[in-house]
């Protein structure tokens, strides 16, 4: 009897605790589930590193390094804390900062990091003080390899449709410039041989070589990107696949088609669906991070392709108008606010920022049409996680230290304000800088992060 009473008491206690925690979460915590949608090299990791450093340093400085974060004045912040999300690796903030201080850029992300940025604010009024109530503003972030993001649209496709679309992309610029070796390999390939582990491995390796070459040349639409940075949850050697030429893929009974179709479905089930469910479907806000420099440094075709990649991604997220009851009562997460962010703006002279912003707006025009239909709020931002450059001798000039340690000055011609204004035969090389000596000071000169966070929490 006493065991039963104890059990009942414990269960009751747990229930009360859970209820109290839920009420606490509901009323005194403001949780922002922010999904950062950034392709590879878009600057996600540097953004996190700088954001956390600036917030941590903010209260200790006489000046304000995030002066436009008006909803969270520095006097109001009691503490800033980085908390792990259960079951996820914590973002390597200290490691990244150490790397920067030893004048190396942080390594690109090759696994998923989940973390909460918890800002505890001081009580605002006497009643709150009396109740010792302190509000918490929580940003829930995930950092992940950008390569995995481009795979999400594959969830809505069958193998043959995906293979055909991948093939048609490779036949058009800019991909076709880097796919010649792969195409030559496929053309001479004998598909009459039955697929075995060795043959499939060789076929996939050739495709992977193409993906690696294309990635190094600024191609963003690379599927499956997970082939470049494999997940521990999916075995490419055993269950791999790659696009097949139409003449093979169109035959549903062909052994190669049958095998790749089976592996493709397995890939969706084992890897893509859980990936989307765990990290990309529980968000109410989205930051779409874009590195336009990569596209500009190659060609207009690259930028057009970036635009296409972005439009394709729209179908992978759940968008909807902002209604307070959706997350609190219906427990439904829909993205109601989107920030389109062009990163590394310090690599463009101030005089060209306006054109750069218009170019960003042009690139997001496809996805924006989708957002308007869903009544989703959006805005465009230019940010840089660090000021690595200095003004030059003219208004379109910038100075920077290159990776060899030489101090250079580049003079830019006018940046096009839309894709059509960029001559298909011309490009703007991207500045590649060494990590500056005064890295912390330059981090404090980050641009636009305060505007962005202010927009998200307002």
Binding site for other proteins (CB under 8 A): 62-65, 67-68, 70, 73, 177-178, 180-181, 213, 217, 298-299, 345, 350, 353, 382, 387, 390-391, 399-401, 406-413, 423, 425-429, 436-438, 441-442, 445, 447-448, 451
93 phi, psi to nearest 5 deg: -60, -50
- Residue 180 C-beta: closest distance to other proteins, Å: 6
DSSP state of 106: P
Structure token digits, residue 13: 């206690």
The 8-class DSSP code of residue 316 comes to G
109 versus 121: smaller Cβ distance to other proteins = 121
Q: Which of 88, 211, 212 is nearest to 143 (CA)?
A: 88
Candidates 447, 448, 385, 437; CA nearest to 100 is 437
The CA distance from 376 to 322, in Å, is: 7
Compute the least distance from the CB of residue 205 to other proteins, in Å.
18
Nearest approach, Cβ of residue 347 and other proteins (Å): 11
Cβ 394 to other proteins shortest distance, Å: 10
Of 195 and 392, which has the nearer Cβ to other proteins? Answer: 392
Give the residue with the Cβ less far from other proteins, 67 or 274. 67
- Cα–Cα separations (whole angstroms), residue 310 to 12, 165, 268, 305, 389: 49, 16, 20, 9, 29
Give least dist CB 190 to other proteins, A.
Answer: 25
Neighbouring CB atoms inside 10 A of 278's CB total 14
Cα–Cα distance measured from residue 431 to residue 423, given in angstroms and rounded to the nearest whole number: 20
Q: Which is nearer to other proteins, 212 or 318 (CB)?
A: 212
User: Minimum Å distance from CB 37 to other proteins?
Assistant: 24
CB of 176 to other proteins, least distance (A): 9
Rank residues 153 and 436 by Cβ distance to other proteins and give the closer one: 436
CA distances to 238, 259, 393 from 350, rounded to whole Å, are 51, 53, 13
Residue 19 or 391 having the CB closest to other proteins: 391
* Angle, CA 28 vertex, CA 24 and CA 34 arms, to 5°: 105
| Cβ 426 to other proteins shortest distance, Å | 5
Closer to other proteins by CB, 13 or 354: give it: 354
Alpha-carbon distance values, 180 to 187, 301, 305 (Å): 10, 17, 18
For the beta sheet containing 113-121, the strands, ordered from the edge strand earlier in sequence to the opposite edge, are: 77-84, 113-121, 136-143, 29-38, 285-290, 337-342, 377-382
- Range list of β-strands (E), 207-319: 285-290
Report the residue number, 318 or 434, with the smaller CB distance to other proteins: 434
CA dihedral 107, 109, 110, 111 (to 10 degrees): 130
Residue 190: helix, strand or coil by DSSP? Answer: coil
Nearer to other proteins, 46 or 272 (CB): 46
Using the minimum distance from each CB to other proteins, give the nearer residue, 35 or 357: 357
CB environment 24-55: b (16+ within 10 A), e (fewer): eeeeeeebbbbbbbbbbbbbbbbbbbbbbbbb
Q: How far apart are CA 21 and CA 60, in angstroms?
A: 31
User: CB of 410: closest distance to other proteins in angstroms?
Assistant: 5
CB nearer other proteins, residue 255 or residue 392:
392
Least Å distance between CB 131 and other proteins? Answer: 24
Measured CA to CA in angstroms, residue 96 lies from 86, 92, 146 at distances of 22, 6, 18
Is residue 445 within 8 Å of residue 387, measured between CB atoms? yes
208/221 Cα distance (integer angstroms): 14
Q: How far is the CB of 214 from other proteins (least distance, A)?
A: 9
Question: Is 136 strand, coil or helix?
Answer: strand
Nearer to other proteins, 317 or 400 (CB): 400
Nearest distance, CB of residue 141 and other proteins, angstroms: 24
Q: Determine how many CB atoms are found less than 10 A away from the CB of residue 15.
A: 10
């Amino acid at each position: 009897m006493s065991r039963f009473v104890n059990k009942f008491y414990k269960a009751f206690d747990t229930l009360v605790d859970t209820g109290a925690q839920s009420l606490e979460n509901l009323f005194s915590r403001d949780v922002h589930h922010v999904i950062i949608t950034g392709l590879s090299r878009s600057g996600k990791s540097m953004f996190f590193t700088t954001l956390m450093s600036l917030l941590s340093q903010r209260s200790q400085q006489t000046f304000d390094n995030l002066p436009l974060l008006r909803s969270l004045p520095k006097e109001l912040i009691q503490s800033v804390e980085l908390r792990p999300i259960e079951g996820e690796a914590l973002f390597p903030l200290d490691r990244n900062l150490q790397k920067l201080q030893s004048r190396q850029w942080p390594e690109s992300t090759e696994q998923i990091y989940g973390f909460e940025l918890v800002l505890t604010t001081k009580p605002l009024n006497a009643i709150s003080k009396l109740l010792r109530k302190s509000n918490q503003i929580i940003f829930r972030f995930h950092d992940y390899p950008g390569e995995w993001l481009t795979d999400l649209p594959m969830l809505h496709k069958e193998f043959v449709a995906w293979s055909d679309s991948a093939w048609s992309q490779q036949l058009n610029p800019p991909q076709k410039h880097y796919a010649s070796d792969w195409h030559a390999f496929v053309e001479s390939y004998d598909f009459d041989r039955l697929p075995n582990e060795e043959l499939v491995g060789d076929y996939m390796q050739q495709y992977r070589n193409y993906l690696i070459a294309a990635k190094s040349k600024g191609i963003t639409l690379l599927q499956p990107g997970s082939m470049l940075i494999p997940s521990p949850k999916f075995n490419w050697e055993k269950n791999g696949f790659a696009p097949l030429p139409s003449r093979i893929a169109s035959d549903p009974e062909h052994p190669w088609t049958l095998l790749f179709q089976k592996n493709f479905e397995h890939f969706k089930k084992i890897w893509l669906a859980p990936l989307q469910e765990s990290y990309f479907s529980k968000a109410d806000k989205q930051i779409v991070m874009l590195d336009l420099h990569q596209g500009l440094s190659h060609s207009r075709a690259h930028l057009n392709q970036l635009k296409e990649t972005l439009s394709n991604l729209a179908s992978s997220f759940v968008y909807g108008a902002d209604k307070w009851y959706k997350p609190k009562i219906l427990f439904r997460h829909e993205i109601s606010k989107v920030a389109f962010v062009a990163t590394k703006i310090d690599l463009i002279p101030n005089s060209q920022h306006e054109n750069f912003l218009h170019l960003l707006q042009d690139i997001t025009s496809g996805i924006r049409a989708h957002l308007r239909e869903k009544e989703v709020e959006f805005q465009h931002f230019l940010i840089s996680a660090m000021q690595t450059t200095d003004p030059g001798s003219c208004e379109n000039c910038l100075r920077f230290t290159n990776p060899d340690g030489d101090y250079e000055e580049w003079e830019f011609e006018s940046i096009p304000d839309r894709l059509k204004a960029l001559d298909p035969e011309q490009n703007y090389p991207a500045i590649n800088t060494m990590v500056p000596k005064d890295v912390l000071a330059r981090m404090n000169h980050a641009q636009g992060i305060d505007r962005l966070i202010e927009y998200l929490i307002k």
